Amino acid sequence: MWMRVEKEASYTAIIKAELHTAMGCTEPIAIAYAGSHARKLLGKIPDRVCIKSSGNIIKNVTSVIVPNSGNMKGVPAAAAIGIIGGKSDKGLEVLADITEDDIERTKEFLQK
């Protein structure tokens, strides 16, 4: 019996170490995180963006609303809102502090 409890404790410890909190569906969050990190590395908002990803990520991002985006969908929206208002230091909660102003600026960025 104690071996079973010990194994369960080991599994629980592994899960706690490996799982990370994310806002909503992880695919748009991952793209938003990449966008926010790119902006941080550049030190400014880029003029244009090229996103390369697997087909599975693209399919999933296309079919869900990007969290805190004002109901935007798709790869461009996920990347743009991450670039405009994302906080890369928050990891997979990159879009937690998005404001209405960030959403409007994201829409303008997408029009360019």
Q: Taking a C-beta distance cutoff of 8 angstroms, is the pair 92, 65 a contact?
A: no
Q: Identify the pLDDT of residue 102.
A: 98
Alpha-carbon gap, residue 59 to 77, rounded angstroms: 14
pTM of this prediction?
A: 0.79
Dihedral sign from CA coordinates of 85, 86, 90, 92:
positive
Q: For 70, list phi and psi in degrees, rounded to 5.
A: 75, 35
Does the structure show a pLDDT above 70 at 34? yes
Cβ(73)–Cβ(65) below 8 Å = yes
- Of 35, 26, 104, 101, nearest to 64 (Cα)? 26
pLDDT tens digits along 50-108:
999 999 899 889 989 999 999 999 999 999 999 999 999 999 899 999 999 999 999 99
How far is residue 47 from each of residues 29, 39, 69, 88, 89, measured CA to CA in Å? 21, 11, 20, 19, 22
Token output for 105: 């600026």
Q: Which two tokens stand for residue 36?
A: 């926010």
The predicted pLDDT at position 64 comes to 92
